[in-house]
Structure 1
Amino acid sequence: MAGRAQYEELARQLSAIGAVKRGLGRILPPDCPGGSAAVLTLLGRHGDMRMTKLAELLAVDMSVTSRHVAHIADRGWIERSHDPADKRSRILHLTDAGQEQLDELFRRSCELLADRLSDWSDDDVALLTDLMGRLRQSFGDCRSTPRLAPGAPATDPVA
């Protein structure tokens, strides 16, 4: 088992990971802030879902989720339809325009990561990816087991 000094250093490194997230956030298009990108990413990875499920995956209040959903619905990136099983609920569905926006987000994220990690070996990138996945699982991140669409990239732009 790792010692206290190792956990302290890990805590410092995780705290500093905000710089990486901010760097990824800076490449987002002006009309697609981080919350919008997170919604698109989750819909792309998990498929159609209710607002309650989306709020759970985002780990935010329903009012915050509603604002994000309204923003991307206004841009035509998602559709909100009545749930046939419960007419009071809405099902969120990624539109073709939303998929195009998501593809652009992934392209930008992948380009930035490829640029910033260009001096890393393939093995180092794979190891980091594996270890980050394990870390998320250790914390019970419900986003760790996505349903990927065929040909979809396995990375999240911001989520």
Structure 2
Amino acid sequence: MAEKAQYEELARQLTAIGVVKREMGRTLPSDCPGGSAGVLTLLGRHGDMRMSRLAELLAVDMSVTSRHVAHVAERGWIERLPDPADKRSRILRLTPDGLAQLDELYDRTTQLLADRLSDWPEDEIGQLVRLMARLRESFGDCRATPRAHQAASVAADTTRTPA
């Protein structure tokens, strides 16, 4: 087991990661704030879903989720379809414009990371990715399934989270 001082330093480093997340948030287009980016990212990763599932994945209440969904729907990035299993519910689905916006978010995040980590050896970037995934898994993060072409977790995880 690691020493107490190592855990304390890890806690300090994780707290300081907010600087990275804020910089990633600054790369978002003005019409796509963090919550909207989170919606697009989760629909891109997990596919069509009900709003209740989206709220669960975003880890926010339904009223917040509804505002984010309304924002992306107004821009034509998602559509709300009747749920065949329950006509009172809606299924959220990315539109072609939503997929294009999601690709733009990934491109911006990937470019930022490529710029900031340009002096890192490739094996260290791979090690960082593996260790961060392992850390996330240790906390039981249900959003851990990455999109195949995604270089980094974006919004939420820019909460994103670009999460």
Give the TM-score category using the shorter length.
over 0.9
Deviation string 1:63-121 (CA, Å, 9 cap, x unpaired) is: 10000000000000000011000011110000000000000000000000000000101
Q: Root-mean-square deviation (CA), in Å?
A: 1.0
CA contact (8 A) 2:110 2:151 kept: no
Deviation string 1:104-150 (CA, Å, 9 cap, x unpaired) is: 0000000000000001011100000000001111001000135x4xx
Aligned residue number for residue 58 of structure 1: 58
Aligned residue number for residue 20 of structure 2: 20
1:82 counterpart letter in structure 2 = P
Aligned residue number for residue 141 of structure 1: 141
CA contact (8 A) 2:45 2:145 kept: no
User: Which runs of 5 or more structure 1 residues have no equivalent in the other structure?
Assistant: none
**What displacement does 1:155 show?**
2.6
Q: Secondary structure at the match of 2:42?
A: helix
**What displacement does 1:157 show?**
2.0
Instruction: Report 1 or 2 for greater relative contact order, CA contacts < 8 Å, sequence distance ≥ 6.
Output: 2
Identity of matched residues, %:
72
Aligned residue number for residue 36 of structure 2: 36
Aligned residue number for residue 132 of structure 2: 132
Q: TM-score normalised to the size of structure 2?
A: 0.93
Aligned residue number for residue 149 of structure 2: 152
Q: What does residue range 107-122 of structure 1 map to in structure 2 within 5 Å?
A: 107-122=107-122
Aligned residue number for residue 76 of structure 2: 76
**What displacement does 1:154 show?**
4.7
Q: Secondary structure at the match of 1:144?
A: coil
Deviation string 1:32-71 (CA, Å, 9 cap, x unpaired) is: 0000001100000110000011001001101100000000
CA contact (8 A) 2:51 2:91 kept: yes
Q: Secondary structure at the match of 1:128?
A: helix
Q: How many residues align?
A: 156
Aligned residue number for residue 85 of structure 2: 85
Aligned residue number for residue 97 of structure 1: 97
Q: TM-score normalised to the size of structure 1?
A: 0.95
Whole-angstrom CA distance in 2 between matches of 1:54 and 1:142:
11
